[in-house]
Amino acid sequence: MRPVRFNINPKEANAHQSIGMADAPPGYSGEGFFTTQLSSVVGLARKNSMWPLPFATSCCGIEFMATMASHYDLARFGAERVGFSPRQCDLLMVMGTIAKKMGPVLKQVYLQMAEPRWVLSVGACACSGGIFDTYSVLQGIDQIIPVDVYVPGCPPRPEAILDGFMKIQELVGKESIRRRNGEQYKTLLHSYGIE
């Protein structure tokens, strides 16, 4: 039997050193006031409180589990509240091989999410079908829903998933609050048959 090993050199948490504050958005400050753009404040709040919906169908989902667990700890980015209700989540994380039969289910989940919503495609299968160049597998989820960030790899390591997540945070933080009502966004959705 393998012996049980304990951490014999536990580190004491130092809240002052290990907890950082998000940078304030650009703006003007003076004695007792600070002004900035509404989009910047909303972006700051949104990007640090993402609610991911994991749509995991195969091996990449296991990497996601590692990403959520204590070593990599997605909660550090304000995203520990993983939800399985599309109506409450704003980040769809698609991880794994998506069979063509599963395509309508994935699209239904996407449609049930409220705006603003973002999509992170994790792993070669979700991005392009991966090694499954076959009649039954969707050759990339961007054939049925718009994707914001692609994470390559088969499977991508948790560090790569975190990197993809941080790219999503960058997009979310910079997004104008008017974008979702804009013509460009409507045209994008229209190209997917979404009104």
Instruction: Give contact residues for ligand SF4 (rule: CB under 6 A).
Output: 58-60, 96-97, 123-125, 130, 154-155
Cα separation, 87 vs 193, whole angstroms: 20
Cα separation, 4 vs 192, whole angstroms: 53
For ligand SF4, the closer of residues 43 and 158 by Cβ is 158
CB of 155 to ligand SF4, least distance (A): 3
CB of 77 to ligand SF4, least distance (A): 22
CB of 144 to ligand SF4, least distance (A): 17
Cα separation, 148 vs 51, whole angstroms: 16
For ligand SF4, the closer of residues 62 and 69 by Cβ is 62
CB of 81 to ligand SF4, least distance (A): 24
Cα separation, 116 vs 66, whole angstroms: 27
For ligand SF4, the closer of residues 58 and 139 by Cβ is 58
CB of 111 to ligand SF4, least distance (A): 23
Nearest residue to 78 (alpha-carbon basis) of 176, 177, 173, 179? 173
Q: Could you count the other beta carbons within 10 Å of the beta carbon of residue 94?
A: 26
Enumerate the β-bridge partners of residue 149. Answer: 120
For ligand SF4, the closer of residues 57 and 176 by Cβ is 57
Cα separation, 137 vs 159, whole angstroms: 26
For ligand SF4, the closer of residues 75 and 154 by Cβ is 154
For ligand SF4, the closer of residues 47 and 128 by Cβ is 128
Using an 8 Å Cβ cutoff, are 116 and 46 in contact?
yes
Cα–Cα separations (whole angstroms), residue 157 to 3, 62, 68, 117, 161: 28, 10, 12, 24, 7
CB of 84 to ligand SF4, least distance (A): 19
